[in-house]
């Protein structure tokens, strides 16, 4: 087992470059199932989730290789494989985004149904509703969802639930609709930049998607898509994580190729609490100077404040003057980081889906454990600012979405390293145990 240790209290300075977006890379890799011929994709990060998707696509009959320049080539070389095993889905829920392209290309998809996770139940009813509306028959057998439909037909689909639109649900239905007969209209579609990126990829490959970036997507069915060269957008959540890391350490860093237009809600909130954010050299500079002040925010679908930045912001607001209130409207149960931050001296309580943060003067280093990806990022961020040593365990979650995070933070001046955690070889004998 590994852990990250951080000696807090160092201001970050220098520059860091943002990798391609995980949440764009995964569905775009899956979209290559739809294409005839090879696609070469630049900017796909080298993270655990991407490695799971590479293995999964290989099991689905694709050749997937990384070349020396870091780009990835993907091509269907064994046509007609349609079964996605639970061993992939249990590692990565986003495996579900092969459902739409498999159904669209081969008329059949069998994908293990994802279970819940630490941030909630995470149903897939809207994915299935959308595919059914296109004419697919959905059944479940031995824990697997089986979608079948030789011919899919375009129709109008409303794809929102009580929490708003679904990101991967929109991706699945959009991908299946590309090869359907006629026109599909997806109302209440997700507008996230990663969905926009997927739509741009599909269009370059020959699809007819319009309304990109709005909540109404129109998809004209085409006969076939072809392989293309494409470059993934930079990861706004990774950029946002570095922004918060700079802010919490009163640092001054330039985040190269961060796309400011994707970070408006994050930038606005940082400025509101006293952080200086400026556009510079095709990226953004984030300076934490004076005191931080409390703020209220709600995690919402794009263009609202991203739920994937909520835990990192909770860390930041834990040392802001006053009381902050964060309402989590996308994943109401995304609160795994709160108890761990309190171990570091934060004063945070939960009321339903609301996180109430009473700012403290300082955080203290402690041993903490990440229960999910963004919780892991929030604990590393807290450790950068805390007095003394913080040890973060549960790195398998962090590594799902960040490439060499500790190395890049060390390059910015943080005292941080990854070490192998020694297991307890001799358990101490229990003392005074009651029979």
In this complex, which beta carbon is closest to ligand UD1, that of residue 2 or of residue 90? 90
Shortest spacing between CB 125 and ligand UD1, in angstroms: 5
CA distance 344 to 380: 11
In this complex, which beta carbon is closest to ligand UD1, that of residue 254 or of residue 380? 380
In this complex, which beta carbon is closest to ligand UD1, that of residue 238 or of residue 406? 238
Kindly report the CA angle at 240 between 239 and 243, in degrees rounded to 5? 90
In this complex, which beta carbon is closest to ligand UD1, that of residue 52 or of residue 320? 52
Shortest spacing between CB 402 and ligand UD1, in angstroms: 13
* 140, 98 contact by CB (below 8 A): no
Shortest spacing between CB 241 and ligand UD1, in angstroms: 13
Shortest spacing between CB 290 and ligand UD1, in angstroms: 31
In this complex, which beta carbon is closest to ligand UD1, that of residue 124 or of residue 409? 124
CA distance 151 to 180: 7
CA atoms within 13 A on the CB side of 109: 29
Shortest spacing between CB 84 and ligand UD1, in angstroms: 15
Of 422, 367, 372, give the one whose Cα is nearest residue 402. 372
In this complex, which beta carbon is closest to ligand UD1, that of residue 26 or of residue 186? 26
CA distance 110 to 129: 16
Active site residue 117: yes
Shortest spacing between CB 364 and ligand UD1, in angstroms: 29
Shortest spacing between CB 97 and ligand UD1, in angstroms: 7
In this complex, which beta carbon is closest to ligand UD1, that of residue 89 or of residue 94? 94
> Using CB under 6 A as the criterion, which residues of the chain lie in contact with ligand UD1 when the complex forms?
23, 26, 94, 120, 122-127, 161, 163, 166-169, 194, 307-308, 330-331
Which one of the listed residues 32, 59, 97, 117 is annotated catalytic? 117
Active site residues per annotation: 117
């Amino acid at each position: 087992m590994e852990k990250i240790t951080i000696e807090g209290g160092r201001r970050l300075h220098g520059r860091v470059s943002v990798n391609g977006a995980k949440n764009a890379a995964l569905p775009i890799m899956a979209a290559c199932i739809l294409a005839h011929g090879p696609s070469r994709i630049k900017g796909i990060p080298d993270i655990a989730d991407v490695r799971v998707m590479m293995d999964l696509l290989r099991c689905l009959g694709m050749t997937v290789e990384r070349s020396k320049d870091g780009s990835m080539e993907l091509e269907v070389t064994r046509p007609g494989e349609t079964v996605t095993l639970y061993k992939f889905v249990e590692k990565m829920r986003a495996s579900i985004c092969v459902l739409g392209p498999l159904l669209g290309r081969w008329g059949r998809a069998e994908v293990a149904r994802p279970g819940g996770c630490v941030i909630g139940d995470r149903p897939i009813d809207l994915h299935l509703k959308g595919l059914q509306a296109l004419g697919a028959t959905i059944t479940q057998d031995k824990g697997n969802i089986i979608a079948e439909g030789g011919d899919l037909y375009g129709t109008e689909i409303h794809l929102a639930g009580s929490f708003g639109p679904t990101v991967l649900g929109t991706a699945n239905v959009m991908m299946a609709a590309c090869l359907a007969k006629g026109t599909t209209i997806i109302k209440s579609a997700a507008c996230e930049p990663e969905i926009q990126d997927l739509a741009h990829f599909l269009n370059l490959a020959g699809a007819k998607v319009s309304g990109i970036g709005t909540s109404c997507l129109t998809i004209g069915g085409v006969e076939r898509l072809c392989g293309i060269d494409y470059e993934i957008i930079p990861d706004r959540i990774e950029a946002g994580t570095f922004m918060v890391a700079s802010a919490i350490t009163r640092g001054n860093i330039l985040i190269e190729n961060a796309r400011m237009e994707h970070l408006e809600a994050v930038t606005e909130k940082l400025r509101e609490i006293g952080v200086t954010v400026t556009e510079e050299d095709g990226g953004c500079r984030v300076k934490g100077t004076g005191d931080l002040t409390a703020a209220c925010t709600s995690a919402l679908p794009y263009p609202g404040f991203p739920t994937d930045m909520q835990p990192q912001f909770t860390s930041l607001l834990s040392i802001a003057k006053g009381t902050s209130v964060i309402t989590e409207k996308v994943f109401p149960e995304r609160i795994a980081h709160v108890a761990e931050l309190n171990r570091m001296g934060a004063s945070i309580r939960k009321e339903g889906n609301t996180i109430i943060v009473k700012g403290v003067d300082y955080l203290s280093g402690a041993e903490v454990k990440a229960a999910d990806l963004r919780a892991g990022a929030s604990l590393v961020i807290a450790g950068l600012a805390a007095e003394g040593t913080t040890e973060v365990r549960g790195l398998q979650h962090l590594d799902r979405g960040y490439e060499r995070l500790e190395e890049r933070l060390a390059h910015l001046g943080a005292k941080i390293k990854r070490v192998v955690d020694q297991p307890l070889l001799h358990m101490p004998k229990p003392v005074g145990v009651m029979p």
